[in-house]
Structure 1
Amino acid sequence: MIRPFIAAATALACMLSAASAGATEPVKKAAAKAKAVKATKAEPPLPAAEDEQLAAAAMTHFGDYQCEQSKSVQVAMNPKFDGYVDVLFGKQRWTMKPVLSSTGALRLEDVKGQTMMLQIAHKSMLMDVKVGRRIVDECMHEKQAQAKAEAQAQPAAPSMMGN
């Protein structure tokens, strides 16, 4: 009388074992798929910087910028990609490509096309190019402050109007 019960229990245990082994297979496949999706969402490597970009990166003022309304921006070399810089403002970080314009201004262009930092002789500004507005303005690196002070110390150039 116990033997049929043991046989039934053994059969049930075998079926449950087989079912649970089959159930883990979809779980393993789902985990592998999630891992693959996560891997594809990782940021792809940036294109290698060419000579013009490396030259523009060398002209970048790295360090702290003091801005209007007691705000600040930090600019640092990107640790992974030569010729790229990281711009930090508050809790936001952008990886940017330095580009020298024909006017002499240095543009740091976000690789995702969202923001741009414009660096001119006496100030810099961080802009949201998608919305078309300044995020923060009147940012000044110590080298820009020095250049501004030197320019103000120079005598005024003669006017072209002859006055």
Structure 2
Amino acid sequence: MKILLAALVVAGAPALAIGQSDPASKPAKPAATKASDPKPAAKPRQPLARSAQKAVEEATPLDDDFDPKLSDTLLEVARQVYVGVMKCELGASVTVTPMRRPGMFMVATNKGQRFRMHPVESRTGAIRLEDTRRGALWIQLGNKSMLMSQRQGQRLADECQSPEQVTTAEYLKRNPMPSLLEPMPHRHGHGHGQMMHGDPAAAPAAPADAPAPAPAEATLPAAPPAAEAPAATPQN
């Protein structure tokens, strides 16, 4: 009997040990997630002056994609590229010719330089074409264009104009755009430091020789006549 009890104890010991070493697993707590703060809406950028656009585009490095896949947005930019022969300063000229592949252009100078270019995104709103293999870019503004070699660090052709750009340049000469640094012109009749319209203190003062306004007629009823004083009695 003792042998049988000992055998039962030995057989049940492993199961007891397993039950004690494997406690009921607790459900994992979900990771606390912080609510993301709403980001403020981006403020619209003010358009840069044409000279500033030119400087920014010159300093922007070229894209390194030799075989770009043009998006619908870039294809729309390509439709705005002026093509044909454009006269530049110092006797130079540039010819922009569309290629068979949509959005691609051949840009050639009268000095024999040729570049295979495509539109890229611009940070200033100017139209920008690049030849990433040869390190060249073509910047088209409203009134002029420029061909630059970033690899050589120099402009190959400047002040290039299509017929459309000539028209725009003449219009800007007749109607120059106001500078953001110039003060706003004062309105006629308002002195320097005049307060905003609608403020009582901003009303213009009457001229010194203006006649004084006539007093308004009294609308209150006339006062009753004063009571007569009693006759004085003679004193003894």
Instruction: Classify the TM-score, shorter chain.
Output: 0.5 to 0.7
- Correspondence for 2:99 among 54, 60, 78: 78
Counterpart-to-counterpart distance in 1, 2:140 and 2:134: 17
Distance verdict in 2 for CA 1:156–1:49, change over 3 Å: closer
1:97 aligns with 2:97: no
Shift of 1:99: 2.3
Deviation of the 1:123 alpha carbon: 1.0
CA contact (8 A) 2:115 2:134 kept: no
Instruction: Rate the CA distance shift 1:48–1:85 in 2: closer, same or farther, 3 A.
Output: same
**Greater helix share, structure number:** 1
TM-score (norm 1): 0.64
Radius of gyration: which is bigger? Answer: 2
Classify 1:151/1:88 alpha carbon distance in 2 versus 1 (closer, same or farther; 3 Å): same
Contact 1:56–1:106 (Cα < 8 Å) also in 2: yes
Q: What's the secondary structure of 1:101's corresponding residue?
A: coil
- Once the two structures are superposed, the pairs formed by residues 106-121 of structure 1 within 5 Å of their partners are 106-121=127-142
Give distance in 2, aligned partners of 1:132 and 1:126: 11
Gaps of 5+ in 1: 1-44
Q: Which of 105, 130, 136 matches 2:151?
A: 130
Higher share in strand = 1
Alpha-carbon separation, structure 1, partners of 2:119 and 2:73: 9
Instruction: Give the number of equivalent residue pairs.
Output: 118
Query: 1:112-160 deviations in whole A, cap 9, x for unaligned?
Result: 1411111111111110111211111111111111111112222664874
Cα deviation, 1:6-55, whole Å, max 9, x if unaligned, reads: xxxxxxxxxxxxxxxxxxxxxxxxxxxxxxxxxxxxxxx94442212201
Going from structure 1 to structure 2, the CA distance change for 1:62 and 1:111 (only over 3 Å counts) comes to same
SS of the equivalent of 2:168 reads: helix
Q: Secondary structure at the match of 1:59?
A: coil
Normalised to the residue count of structure 2, the TM-score between the two structures is 0.46
Kindly report the root-mean-square deviation, in angstroms, between the aligned alpha carbons of the 2 structures: 2.2
